[in-house]
Amino acid sequence: MAQVWLPSELQSYAGGQQIVEIEGSSVRQIVNNLDMAFPGLKECLYDPDMDQIVGSMAVIIDGETSQLGLLDKVDPASEVHFLPAIGGGASSKVIVIGIGPGDPDFITLKAKNILRNSDSVAGFTTVLSVVESFIPHENLIKLTYRNQEELLMQLAEDAKEGKRCVLCAWGDINFSASELIERIRNKVEEIELIPCVSSVQIAASRSGLKMEESIFITLHKRSEDDDLEELNHYLNEGNRNIILIPRPFDLMPQAIAKGLIANGQNSSKIVTVYQKLSMSDEVEWHGSLEELCNYDSEFSDLSIIVIEKAL
């Protein structure tokens, strides 16, 4: 059993004991078992809205400050100390949440709970439009490309004051959201990433493609020489489906089709363009590279191209 050290203000729950022996192989189990042994302790240690240890408490396991919180492992011989966090408050922390592809029903319950219980929620206007129906208006910080640095500083200041702060990104934060994540990472002591559903996953579901037979390419990131080089490479290889993110607005589907044909790809190759996936005005375009090249309407900036591998 692990040796658990309680801070003086919580020792009354355990009949005045400073050290108690508790079973559990993770911090979460230790907290739950502490509460079984000494009812009421969980309420002091655990924040159910955020599903984490309360911000005013630090957990030290065998001399190391816990980084994973409830998920951190505990050995039977471990010493676990619960200590009031230095300064009496949480370290400055911002939670970065992916809010899904547009339909609010794709926001996970975990993300919704965090958002509902936050004091400040920042994001670009389109991103916030997906969440603003369930967050008090005064909590929203609307970013624009021009003011983002300044407003993210404000969010970081809120976090330093102990407010619960969230930064929302589109889709899943693990797909092409690194620029925004880096902007907040260097302003606070800690960030936590909460993923949601990506537009890439929705595109795979719409087309019925297996992710394990597919590759994901984004053109958002500019390459030094030829933006279409990687795409051409995998098309030539032909053994993977390709899920492709175009680049608004200089490398949109028509320009991509044109570039591929110029690079020698077969102009009769069939591609699908999914626009505004999961939204009420979602549209799907299907045709050959040549037809795409000559298509004379604008595609939405929320578009994903799928090119299936040859059978």
Q: Which of 96, 188, 276, 292 binds ligand SAM (CB under 6 A)?
A: 276
Restricted to residues 200-239, the positions that interact with ligand SAM (CB under 6 A) are 200, 220
139 binds ligand SAM (CB under 6 A): no
Rounded Cα distance between 122 and 131, Å, is: 11
Shortest spacing between CB 230 and ligand SAM, in angstroms = 16
Shortest spacing between CB 63 and ligand SAM, in angstroms = 38
- Host H or E run for residue 218: strand 214-218
Residue appearing with tokens 């309407």: 297
Task: Look up residue 222 and give its DSSP letter.
Answer: P
171 binds ligand SAM (CB under 6 A): yes
Size of the site for ligand SAM (CB under 6 A): 23
Restricted to residues 16-75, the positions that interact with ligand SAM (CB under 6 A) are none
- Full DSSP string of 8-63: GGGGGGGTT-SEEEE--SBHHHHHHHHHHHSTTHHHHHEETTTTEE-TTEEEEETT
- Host H or E run for residue 111: helix 109-116
Residue 275's CB: how many other CB atoms inside 10 A? 17
Cα distances from 232 to residues 78, 119, 175, in angstroms, run 54, 46, 21
Q: Which of 234, 274, 292, 306 binds ligand SAM (CB under 6 A)?
A: 274
Q: Which amino acid is at 142?
A: K
Judged by phi (left if over 0) then psi (alpha if -120 to 50, else beta), residue 262 lies in alpha
Q: Which of 27, 302, 306, 307 binds ligand SAM (CB under 6 A)?
A: 302
Nearest to 2 by CA among 86, 50, 48, 66: 66
Closer residue to ligand SAM in complex, CB, 198/265: 198
Q: Which of 7, 55, 248, 287 binds ligand SAM (CB under 6 A)?
A: 248
118 binds ligand SAM (CB under 6 A): no
162 binds ligand SAM (CB under 6 A): no
Shortest spacing between CB 39 and ligand SAM, in angstroms = 43
199 binds ligand SAM (CB under 6 A): yes
106 binds ligand SAM (CB under 6 A): no
Q: Which of 198, 214, 241, 254 binds ligand SAM (CB under 6 A)?
A: 198
Shortest spacing between CB 248 and ligand SAM, in angstroms = 6
Question: Which two three-digit tokens encode residue 1?
Answer: 């059993």
104 binds ligand SAM (CB under 6 A): no
Residue ranges of the alpha helices (H) in 193-228?
A: 199-207
176 binds ligand SAM (CB under 6 A): yes
| Residues making contact with ligand SAM (CB under 6 A) | 101-102, 170-172, 175-177, 198-200, 220, 245-246, 248, 274, 276-278, 301-304
